[in-house]
Amino acid sequence: MTRFFKKLRQDLFSKNKTINYLKYALGEIILVVIGILLAVQINSWHQNTLRLKQEKVLLKQLKKELLDTYYDLFTDIYLLRIGKTSQEKILNVITHDKPYEDALCFDFYFLKYDEYIYPNTAVYGKIKELGLDIIQNDTLRENIKALYEDFFPRISKNTAFTTDISNYLDPYYVTHFTPNTDLDLHYIIPAITDSLGGRTYKQNALQFPGKNPFIGSLLDSLNQSEKSKIVTSSFDDANYTIGFVPLNFEQLKKDPQFLMLLKEVEADRSYKLSRYLQTRLTVRKVVNHIDKVLEDD
């Protein structure tokens, strides 16, 4: 074929058919350009196809990562709401000068209870390395970025915008409270459930006194032979409870320092809970959006 075109060019030139030769040369240039453009287009199509496949893989991995983090959000919100309820009970008793009730020891416990999430960001790190534009949908991309660079840091340990409630109250508790040791005093918080992305989340009821969860986890991790080597009777009967009892409740009600701490804790917990709820809502949006994108594939 090359020899044919070469002979054709020589014949045209030898017969002094300059115009025809120029037409032929132009046509040959056009063919070369079309060939290059086709090659570029095919390569671009191939790269886009690979990028689309990579996006689907990353979205599947990101969904799993977010569903793992959602469990933290689910349980933390549960505990933060308990703390908020306890805080409101204590404030109501103090502001209305009500007498002390034994069950308040549990509320004083949850008053200083705090939570943080520890999100895994490995998949998001991969996405950033490849470029956020690998996520084609603008809304999905912006929501993912907001989660990892705004929402998660605000409720993560060491980067949260609020003071650790437990550390904030600890110094006061050391000098004004004593641990509750009354195993006849009972306290139950109902179980709750939630679901997202094909997973079901359950927070079992909190019941006190109850079996020590650390001992239960230890026994569950041992085989029968290992269990037989330790005395389990004391473990099986080991109940534990929680709570803090004020040393002088009447004085506590009038203590301006405690009232100030109570107000500060109220503000911090309300802010943190609002951030948690916004984060949970955004995670749900992202996971549901990912499911839609994967279904449309």
pLDDT digits (tens, 9 = 90+) for 223-282: 555 545 444 444 444 578 999 999 999 999 999 999 999 999 999 999 999 999 999 999
pLDDT at 47 over 50: yes
Percentage of the chain exceeding pLDDT 90 = 65
pLDDT at 42 over 90: no
For residue 216, give both structure tokens: 């239960």
SS3 245: strand
Cα(137)–Cα(293) distance, rounded to whole angstroms? 9
pLDDT for 30 equals 75
- The answer for residues whose C-beta is within 8 angstroms of residue 103's C-beta and 6 or more apart is 185, 187
Indicate the number of domains in the chain.
1
Name 177's bridge partners.
246
Q: What is the DSSP letter of 202?
A: E
pLDDT single digits (tens) 203-236: 999 899 987 654 444 445 455 555 454 444 444 4
pLDDT for 223 equals 57
Q: What is the mean pLDDT of residues 156-179?
A: 90
pLDDT for 233 equals 45
From 17-31, 191-205, 280-294, the region with the lowest mean pLDDT: 17-31
For residue 196, give both structure tokens: 């997202």
What's the domain range around 92? 2-296
- The answer for residues whose C-beta is within 8 angstroms of residue 236's C-beta and 6 or more apart is none
- The answer for residues whose C-beta is within 8 angstroms of residue 209's C-beta and 6 or more apart is 183, 185, 186, 239, 240, 241
For residue 64, give both structure tokens: 């799993």
**2: confidence class by pLDDT, cuts 50, 70, 90:** low
Q: How many residues does the chain have?
A: 297
33-65 in b/e form (b: 16+ CB < 10 A) is eeeeeeeeeeeeeeeeeeeeeebeebbeebbeb
pLDDT for 147 equals 96
